[in-house]
Structure 1
């Protein structure tokens, strides 16, 4: 850091207590707790405020593979973090930078550090141009860390320093006390939302083709959007109740595989196509809290995995819904990952754009939750009813029409 063992304070996860991090080693160990997961292949920047060095806004971006993109990337991330902090109330007094990337086959971790040094330097210059110094810049690779700022080889040797053993730091102790856990690696969290592969993907693709082929003639023959929307919501409600009522995964079966087995290919295809309607998607977004939220999140993740082949862009809807439920229930790191993936498949998907911006700017999701509650009350003024509000096991009722349906890309 700019001064040896200059302290930086961070709030303990979900508590009012402060944790003081006094060295690059403690900063490197604290990173997964600050972002909620191990940020593999990531550029992470954290704003620092005040004399006590309080952590503020955070930014994560995949490291661009092409070095000729680094100049523009450096300017963009510096501008984004500094201006975003100003909009939230205060310009940062400093920034802590992390570059996290594991070696390619045949590459050493030290080589990764050397290869990424020009990117770190560009970011330091971009932040300096905005009058915000980079107080520390760390490279983390293959269980070791290096400082791009500290020139003292006695504490920051060329071969790097090993990261602390997991769970042994003051930040780890605070997180354990608060009941929080690192959610795994970024790659692992992304994998839960990626399309199926192999024979299951081929079967799902065939089901999507069948559903699309059946839907177009129905609309041409006069089937209304309201009818298709109501069918989509009724089927989605059935699948949600199935998720909620299923026993836990047994015999070592991964949870996602267990959820995948609960959905038929044709069922999944019908709901995926139906969710392309904006109004249907917005009604489905009302499954956002309480007992509805956990099975809804499982359902949206499973449907995102079913968007295979030419239907990959259709995953923007279930990915956005997964991001929304995650954010609504307090899991901001997972929400950002899902929303980023939604924008990767459809950069113009408006709902994902709005949620991603709101989540990154620290806006309280309660405002949107209340809007959705009010819309639900308006649609059902006298009593809760329909597939979206019934607890698992209740007798099925016919839901009200969901509004206009479109098979296009209304967002």
Structure 2
């Protein structure tokens, strides 16, 4: 068995040493905040003690033809992200988590994923970062792809430790870290369920689309739709915020069901389609903190559940907002899940791509929060439409009082200097000037000439 001492710091700089594949496999849910399923997870290690660094998760590609490309992409992303955030990783740990399909055994899952594990090891090695351990976790058992010793890593695998019985579980409980269940359970909160009226919601989305498309194509109409979307979203956030707090013991499913009942299909359809505009979505991201952020998070979840049928791609916008608010409020596990679903709905959704990369790199969201606060304050100062607020007419920013020029005798020399024409140069007088006539005489001469021409034309 390969022994790799790893350390993590759950609280008060407390160091926890993990030895061997068994403790690594047990630590994975605490590292991610949930039990990953159908996932490839890669964790960077730094220093001689193997301090945990950046980590990333991706659904296992169903086609083996994609494994080489995905392996190279994951290795580059983890290494480059670690370099931007901290330093180049000294090693990497790989986890492949997948439960058996119908008629398949856990051992068969391990063998089927072995080529994928080998490609991941090769991709990391090509970047001069070794893979210290590669584990397969399936159906409550784990296997090591790196340990050839069958005495400690038998072909049938080893059972996972019972929940709550390991040193990592004790340290996580002391630090207040909790595991929220499986990845699929967390994803279910963001996908259409039994509480969503699918047919009614589809009709509302079709109707809203027919009504809004022509307006969005017009510049002025697009701005009006943006303002209407933000005002309606603000009202829904206030409505959810006024809802009675859930008593102790109520499940997350019950909370989501109650939120779904507070939002009409027509309201949901209007906000979903309005959020497809990038600028509108960016302004909606300003609901990100405090009680306002909590209510906005509930709204974005509810809207993601309303993207049914052919409107699944439209869920990328509310899902990205779920990921942003979750990350902004310190809930990285929920952010990773939501952003992963957003990219599954629309792999080219740039907002979700950037947030997912930043979350995986362990960046601080405060930089983006400051930017959004500044945009909101600037728009409010200029009388724009703030998120959730009514439109305020624009007012000219106050400036210094205008001064009237004093016409006194003391100012006459300055005024006379302004009237003076440029002096002639060596080649003669400047263009448009006279060599000998003062300014006042030239003005009278021009008036006389105009009168003479006018008199000639009138016959006088």
> What is the TM-score of this pair, normalised by structure 1?
0.88
Secondary structure at the counterpart of residue 41 of structure 2: strand
Of the candidates 24, 28, 31, which is equivalent to residue 27 of structure 1? 24
- Gapped regions of structure 2 (runs ≥ 5): 395-460
Which residue is 1:175 aligned to? 172
SS in 2 for 1:224: helix
Shift in Å at residue 235 of structure 1? 1.2
Larger radius of gyration: 2
**Could you tell me which of 103, 106, 109 is aligned with 1:109?**
106
SS of the equivalent of 2:181 reads coil
Which of 35, 53, 58 is the matching residue for 1:56?
A: 53
How many Å apart are 1:231 and its aligned residue?
Answer: 1.8
| 1:317 has 2:317 as partner | yes
CA pair 100-226 structure 1, distance change in 2 beyond 3 A? same
Q: Does 1:334 align with 2:334?
A: yes
What whole-Å deviation, never above 9, does each CA across 1:54-105 have from its counterpart, x for those lacking one?
Answer: 1111121111111222222222222222232233342222111111000001
Between 31-40 and 90-99, the greater mean CA deviation after superposition:
90-99
Which residue, out of 25, 28, 43, partners 1:46?
A: 43
Q: Which residue of 1 aligns with 2:390?
A: 398
Q: Is the 8 A contact 1:230 1:400 kept in 2?
A: no
Residue 357 of structure 1 corresponds to 357
> Aligned in 2, Cα 1:116/1:19: closer, same or farther, shift over 3 Å?
same
Asked whether 1:79 is paired with 2:76, we answer yes
User: Is the 1:85–1:92 Cα contact (8 Å) retained in structure 2?
Assistant: yes
Aligned length: 391
Shift of 1:243: 1.1
Higher relative contact order (CA 8 A, sep 6+): 1
TM-score normalised per structure 2: 0.79
**Corresponding position of 1:282:** 282
What does residue 65 of structure 1 align with?
A: 62
Cα shift at 1:154 = 2.1
* Residue 7 (structure 1) aligned with residue 40 (structure 2): no
Displacement, 1:27? 0.5
Return the alpha-carbon distance in structure 2 between the equivalents of residues 221 and 321 of structure 1. Answer: 26
1: CA distance between counterparts of 2:165 and 2:128? Answer: 36
CA distance change for structure 1 residues 325 and 140 in 2, over 3 Å: closer, same or farther? same
Change (3 A) 1:78 1:248: same
Gaps of 5+ in 1: 389-396, 403-411
1:37 aligns with 2:34: yes
For residues 217 and 23 of structure 2, the distance between their equivalents in structure 1, rounded to whole angstroms, comes to: 63
Q: Is the 8 A contact 1:249 1:258 kept in 2?
A: no
Secondary structure (helix, strand or coil) at the match of 1:131 reads coil
Aligned to 2:130: 133
1:380 aligned counterpart, secondary structure: helix
Alpha-carbon distance change, 401 to 311 in structure 1, aligned in 2, over 3 angstroms: farther
Matched position secondary structure for 1:359: helix
RMSD: 2.5
Deviates more, 1:196-205 or 1:152-161: 196-205
Which has the larger displacement, 346-355 or 261-270?
A: 346-355
Write the mapping of 1:192-341 to structure 2, written as runs, cut at 5 A. 192-196=189-193, 200-216=197-213, 224-248=221-245, 254-341=254-341
Shift of 1:116: 1.2
Q: Specify whether residues 307 and 6 from structure 1 end up closer, same or farther in structure 2 by C-alpha distance, changes over 3 A only.
A: closer
Deviation string for 1:220-260 (max 9, x for gaps)? 89973333222211211111111111124578662222211
Asked if the contact 2:383–2:392 (Cα under 8 Å) also holds between the matched residues in 1, the reply is no
Q: Secondary structure at the match of 1:276?
A: coil
Alpha-carbon offset, residue 298 of structure 1 = 0.8
In the alignment, the residues of structure 1 paired with residue 125 and residue 393 of structure 2 have an alpha-carbon distance, to the nearest angstrom, of 56
Find the residue that maps to 1:195 and give its secondary structure: coil
Residues 227 and 401, structure 1, Cα contact 8 Å, conserved in 2: no
Match of 1:408 in 2: none
